[in-house]
Chains A and B, each alone.
Chain A
Amino acid sequence: MYFSFQACKMVLTSERVPQTDAQTLKSKHKKQRQRNRPRNKRNRLEDSHPTHPESSANEAASAMPGKQDAVATEKTRDQIIAEREAKKLAKQAKKLKNAATATADAPAAPTVPTTVSTIPATSATKIITKVEQTTITTKLTTTTTTKKADAAALKPTQPAAVNGKDAEEGERSREQIKAEREAKKAAKKAGKSGGAKVEGVLQQLADLKVSEKVTANAAPSATEANQQMKKPALSKAERRALQEAQRAAKAQGQTKKAQPAGKTPPTAVPKESKRESVSPTKAAVISYPSKCPASTANGDCRVKLFNHLVCAKEDSQFINDPLVHPSIARLGVQYARRTVVGSNARCIAFLHALRQVVHDFETPAKKEFGRSLDAAVKHHVDHLHKCRPLAVSVSNAYKQFKNQLTQLPSDVPETELKELLVHFIDTYIENQIGKAAQAISGFLQEKITDGDVLLTFACSSLIQFICEEAKRRQVAFRVIVVDSRPGCEGQELLRRLHANGIPCTYVLINAVGYVMAEATKVLLGAHALLANGYVMARTGTAQVALVANAHNVPVLVCCETHKFSERFQTDAIVYNELSDPNQLVRGDKCQLSNWAAKGKLLPLNLSYDITPPELVSAVVTEVAILPCTSVPVILRIKPDIGY
């Protein structure tokens, strides 16, 4: 009995992966990738066959959309192969899925996500994996996005179609999460019966993921090779392959008929049959409301004070660029929809996408690798900036990456250069985010003692990490989570802390004066630290610091040095980000509903505010515990610290 429980627990950790498993899983993934690679390579080779020069196809697509069908009608060999493979894999996936659904009634099934987050881990990779969850769960959508981008490229005159598909993407990714969960269930079952064969299960999980990727996209083996910045157009044959794969995957009757290019049937249709209610518990994924309220009349209904700031745009307009790598396109949508939020999560997601870009990059003929990659990455970063203004952490990471690009040796083959860059990205994540979090937590552990009452605002991954660490040290402390509408991110933190068994109190921000008397320390996360010592953080942070100051409670801001910015700013109005004002509207009965029609009523949803240094007792960084005003010092010495 104990044995099987243990096994189950180990399987459950597969997503959160403590140290050792992390390695195995990573290597598994790597193997998987390698296994896939040859096929892709072959396809790529065949794709660049003289009869189908990419450039000409591209031209055909852009110049004369009518012609491209003629070009594409002949079924190339690789497409036939792709078709077959797709079918095969789809069948395999189906089998696996049947097995998975059979175990859907496993007793502990609904609690899977919570259990997952309770397992302690000790390594630096832990916080990373936590934040990475977002990336993992949504990784599967990559190719779907490509296809959409491709489709959009085909018919740029049909924004409406793109909109519709975009709405579908949310559902799709949810389905994939679901599928993943089912995979986990299957894995658990295997773990129970087979007994502790974790590796096998992980293998299965990985297999399932891969096969699912195939079913989801039907003919990715053909398209995947081409996805990098060139090309597009789905040929007729590919479309057919896709549809057949869907049929093979047991689509229920509603599979749509073949539609003209640009309206390729949603690839996730077959999976809709097994949709079930899902509790919105994915860590780090703050679920996005299914209907995206249209932010109407951006130009008219604006607060005069904020005329200079760009209002949040509808995200569908971002995926329309054929030159953007799918992983970046997907990340862009995630940024715009606020699926990936939080400085660290955004940075990690960006670096992962960047790694993908580097990995898939091909140097154009007669160009230098470093420079052409620089240009390509710049384009991608511009795209992300359009989706949502870049976080300071992201632009810092980008700066470091660019710096790395300029220092590349010139006499080394391209593959090694790529290895170098990928290595750089990985170490950046590990050092700047993972180890920094550990160091900060280390500093703070000395400050957290029995009987402490920590007050924190909104949701910071770092604060969560610190609290969990303190809990592990068996310190008797409790946490007051202060939150604010409309984001209510604190609920996420509350959920995570609660899962760790930390006693919590939860209040909204206007009640902060009520609970401040109990607090012994205020711990705040930050979006960035500005060069003049001001702290840029989620709106409301300054208010909490202000009240804490009035109550003489020390305010500690936790911030890794990779979030330090060279900008100077003295108020929250000159530079800020405006989120969707519709979030302030509470339901249909709210007096604010249809504010846009009323004209003079303007909801304003600021993202950040600026806390003046006099309200902050100290900043905890991985270097030391410092006063706010030492930011320029750190900025100056940082290159020497050894990152």
Chain B
Amino acid sequence: MKEQPLKEITQLIHAIKVGLVEGSYNITNKTLDIFKYIIMSKSWQNADALMQIVRDQCKILQAALPQETVTSNIARRILKLTREEFDLLHAKVQHFADDSQASLSLHKLVTQTSESNVSVDYSVPQQGLREALLDHLQEVETELETSSENICVQAEEHIHSSEIILTLSHSRSVENFLKRAIKKRQFLTIIVAECAPACRGHNLAASLASEKNVEIVVIPDAAIFAMMSRVNKVIIGTHSVLANGGLRAACGAYTVALAAKHYSVPVIVLAPMYKLSPLHLCEQDAFNMVGCAEDVIPYDSIPAREAKIYNPMFDYVPPELVTLFISNTGGHAPSYVYRLLTELYHPEDLEI
């Protein structure tokens, strides 16, 4: 039987679709709120039932919003939490029979086999699971709230004075990061590629220009290569980080990364942990989305009637073009992303 979406889920989908909720952070926050509500108010008897509800709702979200991977990321986080809490409580009940479940010693890590996890029966009702989960969710919420701040704090470690930084489009993390850098360092030059046709780069430029001691240069996307020879660092945001360390980022990021590679300029990607998705998408068509073409060429122009006009939203940036990820937990190399993913999500939840 096909599961029906909850009222809150439908509302969220609608809000995202019509653009009331924008930005990964806001979407993540709202999704988390809904799952919290599910845990609190829904009647579920055991961990298995809860996980089934979360999975079902997540599937609905995924089908409705295939581009917003953060929703399923949060669902995966909750599934993982449920498992952990259940295991913990289960172990407590058994009075730490072998003392192994609670602490992951090195020995345990080496000898542990995946089979032992599979064999856990989640359908057993567990006392106090709901409370433990809500407690833990509180932690996740705090992490989410402080993620932007935690990324910003690292600005000083990566930017020196009189540096020339290039960025693309408008990402909130990048905006905060650069603002912090401007406060701490003197004489920065920030080059913003406008990212036509939406030209969100203009907003970033206008926002950054309110700071002191900084030069903001707005360039058209065509001039990225020309300017790259003078750039010290490229700092961009991303829509999501894929399992191989590649990016699904704003359209134009690929060119930026390629040009940076050509001039051996480091590319730093700001990605809070909730943007890490256990997906392998290496093809344009697999994840791209085409937007409205009106901005590219006016509908009423003569050639627009016959010509094919594309306005893709995303670019795939392969991991070899990325130098460093900065997340709220610190810096990571693209090759380390797979490891972060195994820490974040349970292997069984990669496919929801």
Expressed in whole angstroms, the minimum distance between the Cβ of A304 and any Cβ of chain B is 7
A507→B296 contact, CB < 8 A: yes
A513→B254 contact, CB < 8 A: yes
Residues 522-549 of A at the B interface (beta carbon under 8 Å): 538-540, 542-543, 546-547
Q: Does B106 contact A (CB under 8 A)?
A: no
Q: Does B89 contact A (CB under 8 A)?
A: no
A508→B197 contact, CB < 8 A: yes
Measured between beta carbons, the chain B residues less than 8 angstroms from A163 are none
Expressed in whole angstroms, the minimum distance between the Cβ of B60 and any Cβ of chain A is 29
The residue of chain B having its C-beta at the shortest distance from the C-beta of A579 within the complex is B220
Expressed in whole angstroms, the minimum distance between the Cβ of A220 and any Cβ of chain B is 37
B309→A505 contact, CB < 8 A: yes
Measured between beta carbons, the chain B residues less than 8 angstroms from A498 are 302-303, 306-307
Residues 230-257 of B at the A interface (beta carbon under 8 Å): 230, 251-252, 254-255
Q: Does A636 contact B (CB under 8 A)?
A: no
Query: Which of B44-52, B91-99, B149-157, B201-209 is the interface stretch?
Result: B201-209
Expressed in whole angstroms, the minimum distance between the Cβ of B102 and any Cβ of chain A is 49
Q: Quick one: given A486-B220, A606-B226, are A543 and B196 in contact (CB under 8 Å)?
A: no
B215→A303 contact, CB < 8 A: yes
Q: Does B138 contact A (CB under 8 A)?
A: no
Measured between beta carbons, the chain A residues less than 8 angstroms from B315 are 510, 513-514
A576 vs B222: C-alpha distance in the bound complex, in angstroms? 14
A513 vs B316: C-alpha distance in the bound complex, in angstroms? 9
The residue of chain A having its C-beta at the shortest distance from the C-beta of B316 within the complex is A513
Q: Does B132 contact A (CB under 8 A)?
A: no
A547 vs B254: C-alpha distance in the bound complex, in angstroms? 9
A586→B199 contact, CB < 8 A: yes
Expressed in whole angstroms, the minimum distance between the Cβ of A352 and any Cβ of chain B is 29
A401 vs B227: C-alpha distance in the bound complex, in angstroms? 36
A495→B311 contact, CB < 8 A: no
The residue of chain B having its C-beta at the shortest distance from the C-beta of A479 within the complex is B307
B225→A543 contact, CB < 8 A: yes
Q: Quick one: given A512-B255, A584-B220, A592-B205, are A491 and B284 in contact (CB under 8 Å)?
A: no
A505 vs B259: C-alpha distance in the bound complex, in angstroms? 24
B301→A491 contact, CB < 8 A: yes
Q: Does A305 contact B (CB under 8 A)?
A: yes
B310→A505 contact, CB < 8 A: yes
A514→B312 contact, CB < 8 A: yes
Q: Does B218 contact A (CB under 8 A)?
A: yes
Expressed in whole angstroms, the minimum distance between the Cβ of A139 and any Cβ of chain B is 27
A287 vs B214: C-alpha distance in the bound complex, in angstroms? 36
Measured between beta carbons, the chain B residues less than 8 angstroms from A543 are 222, 224-225, 255, 259
Residue of A114, A515, A572, A604 near B218 (CB, 8 A) is A604
B230→A573 contact, CB < 8 A: yes
A602→B225 contact, CB < 8 A: no
B303→A601 contact, CB < 8 A: no
A491 vs B307: C-alpha distance in the bound complex, in angstroms? 11
A550→B251 contact, CB < 8 A: no
Measured between beta carbons, the chain A residues less than 8 angstroms from B221 are 484-485, 508-510, 540
- Number of A-B contacts defined by CB within 8 Å: 182
A507→B216 contact, CB < 8 A: no
B255→A509 contact, CB < 8 A: yes
Q: Quick one: given A485-B194, A573-B229, are A517 and B284 in contact (CB under 8 Å)?
A: yes
The residue of chain A having its C-beta at the shortest distance from the C-beta of B314 within the complex is A514
Measured between beta carbons, the chain A residues less than 8 angstroms from B308 are 504-506
Expressed in whole angstroms, the minimum distance between the Cβ of B256 and any Cβ of chain A is 9
A511→B202 contact, CB < 8 A: no
Measured between beta carbons, the chain B residues less than 8 angstroms from A602 are 215-218
Complex interface bits, B166-178 against A, C-beta within 8 A gives 1, otherwise 0: 0000000000000
A469 vs B136: C-alpha distance in the bound complex, in angstroms? 69
Expressed in whole angstroms, the minimum distance between the Cβ of B241 and any Cβ of chain A is 18
Residues 463-490 of A at the B interface (beta carbon under 8 Å): 481, 484-486
B217→A511 contact, CB < 8 A: no
A343 vs B209: C-alpha distance in the bound complex, in angstroms? 37
Q: Does B183 contact A (CB under 8 A)?
A: no
B310→A511 contact, CB < 8 A: yes
A27 vs B225: C-alpha distance in the bound complex, in angstroms? 49
Q: Does B277 contact A (CB under 8 A)?
A: no
A592 vs B194: C-alpha distance in the bound complex, in angstroms? 10
B229→A571 contact, CB < 8 A: yes
Q: Does A494 contact B (CB under 8 A)?
A: yes
Expressed in whole angstroms, the minimum distance between the Cβ of A572 and any Cβ of chain B is 4
Measured between beta carbons, the chain B residues less than 8 angstroms from A507 are 296, 309-312
Measured between beta carbons, the chain A residues less than 8 angstroms from B203 are 591
Measured between beta carbons, the chain A residues less than 8 angstroms from B202 are 586, 590-592
Q: Does A503 contact B (CB under 8 A)?
A: yes
Most chain A Cβ neighbours within 10 Å, of B219, B220, B315? B220
The residue of chain B having its C-beta at the shortest distance from the C-beta of A481 within the complex is B307
Expressed in whole angstroms, the minimum distance between the Cβ of A242 and any Cβ of chain B is 40
The residue of chain B having its C-beta at the shortest distance from the C-beta of A545 within the complex is B225
Residues 182-214 of A at the B interface (beta carbon under 8 Å): none
A609→B195 contact, CB < 8 A: no
A504→B196 contact, CB < 8 A: no
B222→A601 contact, CB < 8 A: no
A604 vs B221: C-alpha distance in the bound complex, in angstroms? 11
A511 vs B198: C-alpha distance in the bound complex, in angstroms? 13
The residue of chain B having its C-beta at the shortest distance from the C-beta of A599 within the complex is B209
B303→A491 contact, CB < 8 A: yes
A606→B223 contact, CB < 8 A: yes
A572→B197 contact, CB < 8 A: no
Measured between beta carbons, the chain A residues less than 8 angstroms from B301 are 491, 495
B255→A547 contact, CB < 8 A: yes
Residue of B205, B227, B254, B312 near A591 (CB, 8 A) is B205
Measured between beta carbons, the chain A residues less than 8 angstroms from B307 are 481, 494, 498, 503-506
Q: Does A598 contact B (CB under 8 A)?
A: yes
27 contacts between A and B (CB under 8 A): A304-B189, A485-B196, A485-B220, A495-B301, A495-B303, A504-B306, A506-B297, A506-B309, A507-B310, A509-B196, A509-B255, A511-B252, A511-B310, A543-B224, A543-B259, A546-B262, A571-B226, A576-B226, A584-B194, A586-B199, A590-B202, A591-B206, A598-B206, A600-B216, A601-B216, A602-B215, A602-B216
Binding site for A on B (CB under 8 A): 189, 194-197, 199, 202-203, 205-206, 209, 211, 214-227, 229-230, 251-252, 254-255, 258-259, 262, 284, 288, 296-297, 301-303, 306-312, 315-316
Besides A506-B309, A508-B196, 14 more A-B contacts (Cβ < 8 Å) are: A498-B306, A503-B307, A505-B308, A507-B309, A507-B312, A510-B196, A510-B251, A513-B255, A514-B284, A514-B312, A546-B262, A592-B206, A600-B214, A609-B222
